Amino acid sequence: SNNFLPLILVCASGGVHMQEGSLSLMQMAKISSAFYDYQSNKKLFYVSILTSPTTGGVTASFGMLGDVIIAEPKAYIAFVGKRVIEQTLNKTIPEGSQATKYLFHKGLFDPIVPRNPLKGVLVD
């Protein structure tokens, strides 16, 4: 078949448990490499949908590689959790700084779309 369909990936999780093993890290690299081939060489369209939570390696890799990145309202999206950031920097980070609305205004992703109208948005 010569059908070239868009890839739609719903991302969730990806925090500390994914980072525990070298196999998990290699899988993220392989997935990211496959997406690069899909987008650049095959010129196909990739949509990433960020649900709650989308953290860690998923945020650092394939979750942010979409041609269009959609986030659910009030999703928790971060590379690392608030507690770890605060302990590392010895600073308090603002409440809500890892929530969809704040990150949208910083340009991290494209639209914020609730689940109910998501199918219609993807079809259009």
Domains and CATH numbers, the chain: 14-122 (3.90.226.10)
Residue type, 88: T
Q: Tell me which residue has tokens 């609730």.
A: 114
Contacts of 119 (CB under 8 A, 6+ apart): none
Asked if the model's pLDDT at residue 2 lies above 80, the reply is no
Contact 72, 10 (CB under 8 A): no
Percent of the chain with pLDDT over 90: 29
Residue 6 in this model has a pLDDT that exceeds 90: no
DSSP-derived secondary structure letter, 77: B
What number is the average pLDDT over the span 63-73? 93
Q: Residue 76 corresponds to which tokens in the numbers above?
A: 């928790």
Q: Are 61 and 15 in contact (CB under 8 A)?
A: no
